[in-house]
Amino acid sequence: MKNYNYQKIKKEVEIIVKQANNGRNNIFTDTVWKHHIQPVVKYSLMLGKKLGADLEVLELAALLHDYAAMLNKKFCQDHHLHGARLAEKILKSFNYPEEKIEHIKDCIVSHRSSLKIKQRTIEAKILASADAMSHIGELVDMFYLAFGVHRFKTEAGAKWLKSKLLRDWQKIMPAGRKIIKQEYDLAIGLLDKAIK
């Protein structure tokens, strides 16, 4: 029997993440909530329902996976590690079950494609996939990241973004690839045109 109110905890976590999104230390600007966090939650739950995963773990991990990067730019490089630590602190304050907290931390630590950290659970694989899927599904925001935030010029930005999307595609599980394939092909085609 559960001795916690999941819906209440989720709402509180959403408030905490939105505050970081809107904070002045968020170098990625306030588009992260709408164009990254919410899509990661959407794709996580979509895949989680399809694959029989723990939806609570997935939803909270998706909400918190980039929290550290939004909270403080000094956390960006290792945001997966800081994010796991901060998620534990937040979730313990709500008396969320320790075993679920550990599971969420594992998902957050292993979500980054650039570090090639092995995902050990279905939830971790789903979160990593959903993170990558959001980059493809929210391509316009990725253009903003490349050209607005990182200030790349046209070809350099297209090459950077293509490299990121190619890495992301490798991270997406087969069930996720089926969902996002058409958008992926379109994105790579657009970027290839800019690079030539």
149 found inside a domain: yes
pLDDT in tens, 64-91: 999 999 998 888 788 888 889 999 999 9
112 found inside a domain: yes
77 found inside a domain: yes
136 found inside a domain: yes
Buried b (16+ CB within 10 A) or exposed e, 141-166: bbbbbbbeeeebeeeebbebbbebbe
Query: What is the rounded distance in angstroms from the CA atom of residue 138 to the CA atom of residue 118?
Result: 25
Look at the chain and report how many structural domains it folds into: 1
Encoded tokens for 89: 């602190």
1 found inside a domain: no
Query: What is the rounded distance in angstroms from the CA atom of residue 169 to the CA atom of residue 147?
Result: 21
146 found inside a domain: yes
Residue 96 CB: number of other CB atoms within 10 A? 20
- Provide the Cα torsion 175, 181, 187, 192; round to 10°: 110
**What CATH number does residue 156 fall under?**
1.10.3210.10
Per-residue pLDDT of the chain (196 residues; tens, 9 = 90+): 578 999 999 999 999 999 999 999 998 889 999 999 999 999 999 999 999 999 999 999 999 999 999 998 888 788 888 889 999 999 999 999 999 999 999 999 998 766 667 878 999 999 999 999 999 999 999 999 999 989 999 999 999 999 999 999 999 999 999 999 999 999 999 999 999 7
3-state secondary structure 32-71: HHHHHHHHHHHHHHHHHHHHCCCHHHHHHHHHHCCHHHHH
What is the span of the domain harbouring residue 174?
6-195
Residues 6+ apart with CB under 8 A from 171: 113, 128, 129, 131, 132
58 found inside a domain: yes
The pTM (predicted TM-score) of the whole model is 0.93
Encoded tokens for 84: 């796991």
